[in-house]
Amino acid sequence: MSSFIKVNNLDVQYSRGRRSLFEKEEFFKAVDNVNLSINKGKIVGLVGESGSGKSTLGRALLGAKEFHHGSIHYNFEEGSIDLSNLSKKNLRDFRSKVQLIFQDPYNSLSPRMTVRDIIAEPLEALGMTKSKSETDNRVIEIAQKCQLNINHLNRFPHSFSGGQRQRISIARSLIAQPEFIVADESVAALDVSIQAGILQLLKSIQNEMGLTIMFISHDLSVISNFCDEVAVMYLGKIVEYAPKNEIFLTPKHPYTQALLNAVPSINPHKKNIQKTLEGEIPSIYDRPQGCVFQSRCSKVTDQCRQNEPSLKKFHNHEVACINLDD
Ligand SMILES: Nc1ncnc2c1ncn2[C@@H]1O[C@H](COP(=O)(O)OP(=O)(O)OP(=O)(O)O)[C@@H](O)[C@H]1O
Ligand SMILES: [Mg+2]
C-alpha cells in the first residue's frame, strides 16, 4: 500500500537576516532532511523540545510554509498531489483537503464574526456550496457533530468557554471535509478535564471521517492516549518514528529514551533507561557535524561526531542512531 503522505529529504528554511547591509541574507534550516511516510487514517503524534521544528514541519505539510528542498506528496482519494508542483487549480483543491486546527482557542477566533460565519468561512472561501441555505445546512451538520448548541450559532465567540471555542475551531476545520488535519498544540491551553472531552470528540470524528491527523504536542501522556504512531523531532530532524506502543515501551533513540524518562508516570521501563536530558539544546544556527544529539547523548562515540545517521529500520522502529542495542 502506498503511503497517504510521503515526505522525502525535506528542508525548510527561515531567514536569519543580514549581518550588515553589504552582506548576503543568511538562512538556517528549521527542518533538515526529513523523511516521513504517513498512512491513511492514522493519528501521528509529533513531539520534541521547543524549537525542534514541529510547527514548521506541520505548516510545510499544509502548504502554508514554502520548502526549499525535497518533496511532499499526497495520495488523496481523488488523485495524488505533489506540493512542489501545484497549478492554481490544484492549489485550490489541495486547500480544501487539508486544514489546521488553531492552537489557541482564545485568540484565534475573530471576535466580530458570529460562530456561524466563523465555521462557514472555509466553505465560502473555497466556493464549495451553491447557496446560503446549503452552507447553513452544512454548518448545522458539523456543529452538531462537534456537540455545539445550534441555537447559539448567531452568537459571538466571547460568549463561549475555552472548550466550546475549541469545538468551534474544530467544526471550522472539518466543514470542508478535509482528509488531513494538523492539530498544533490544540488542547494545550485547556484544563485537563476539558482536554479529555475535546480529544474524545476529535477521535470519534476522525474515526467516522477516516481522517489522518498530525497531532503536535508537548504532552507525552496526551500523545500516548491519543496517537497511533509517534515521530520524535530534535533540532529539525526526525530521530525516531514508530507505532505508539513501540515508542513508549521500547524507545530506541537515546533522545526518545531521555524524553520519556522525564515523565516517570508513562514510563514503565524506567529502570532500563539510564539518563535524563542534560544540558541545553544546541543552537539551530550551529548544527553540529555528525549526529544532532551528540552533545547530550550518553552513548556518543567518535563516529557519532563524524557521520550523520539517517533513519533506518530497526525492528518496528525507524531510528537515526548508529549505537542501538537489541
Ligand atoms: N517565522 C519565523 N522566522 C524565523 N525563524 C522562525 C520562524 N518560525 C520559527 N522559527 C524558528 O525555527 C525553529 C523551529 O521553530 P518551530 O516553531 O517550528 O518549533 P516548534 O518545535 O514548533 O517549537 P514549539 O514547541 O516552541 O512550538 C526555531 O528555532 C524558531 O525560532
Ligand atoms: Mg510549535
Q: Are 267 and 248 in contact (CB under 8 A)?
A: yes
For residue 49, how many C-alpha atoms fall within 13 Å in the half-sphere facing its CB?
A: 16
Gap from CA of 147 to ligand 1 centroid (Å)? 33
Distance (Å, whole) CA 17 – CA 136: 46
Q: Are 265 and 242 in contact (CB under 8 A)?
A: no
Q: Domain boundaries in the chain? A: 42-62+88-227, 251-326
- CATH pick for 42-62+88-227 out of 3.40.50.300, 3.40.50.170, 3.40.1390.30, 3.55.40.20: 3.40.50.300
Distance (Å, whole) CA 173 – CA 182: 10
Atom of ligand 1 nearest to the CA of 216: 22
Atom of ligand 1 nearest to the CA of 31: 14
- The C-alpha cell at 203 is 477521535
Report every protein residue that has its C-beta within 5 angstroms of ion ligand 2.
55
158-193 b/e (C-beta count within 10 Å ≥ 16 → b): eebebbbbbbbbbbbbbbbebbbbbbbbbbebbeee
3-state SS class at 276: coil
Residue type, 2: S
Gap from CA of 49 to ligand 2 centroid (Å)? 9
Predicted pLDDT of residue 268: 56
- Dump the DSSP string for 76-130: ETTEEEEGGG--HHHHHHHHHHEEEE-S-TTTSS-TTS-HHHHHHHHHHHTT--S
- The C-alpha cell at 184 is 498544533
Q: Name residues contacting ligand 1 (CB within 6 A).
A: 14, 30, 48, 50-56, 284
Gap from CA of 106 to ligand 1 centroid (Å)? 21
Gap from CA of 236 to ligand 1 centroid (Å)? 10
Distance (Å, whole) CA 76 – CA 40: 9
Gap from CA of 53 to ligand 1 centroid (Å)? 6
Per-residue pLDDT of the chain (326 residues; tens, 9 = 90+): 689 999 999 999 999 988 888 888 999 999 999 999 999 999 999 999 999 999 999 999 999 999 999 999 999 988 899 998 888 888 888 988 999 987 776 778 899 999 999 999 999 988 889 999 999 999 999 999 999 999 999 999 999 988 899 999 999 999 999 999 999 987 777 888 888 888 999 999 999 999 999 999 988 989 999 999 999 999 999 999 999 999 999 999 999 999 998 776 665 555 544 556 777 788 988 888 999 999 999 889 999 999 999 999 999 999 999 998 76
Distance (Å, whole) CA 273 – CA 278: 14
> Residue 293: which residues within 8 A CB-CB, separation 6 or more?
234, 235, 239, 253, 254, 255, 321
Pocket test for ligand 1, best of 29, 32, 46, 52 (most atoms within 8 A of CB): 52
Predicted pLDDT of residue 20: 85
Q: From start to end of the chain, where are the E strands?
A: 5-17, 26-38, 43-47, 69-76, 79-82, 98-101, 180-184, 212-216, 229-234, 237-243, 312-314, 317-319
Gap from CA of 284 to ligand 2 centroid (Å)? 15
Query: Which ligand is nearest the CA of 231, by number?
Result: 1
Query: Which ligand is nearest the CA of 56, by number?
Result: 1
Atom of ligand 1 nearest to the CA of 284: 29
Distance (Å, whole) CA 107 – CA 119: 15
Predicted pLDDT of residue 269: 55
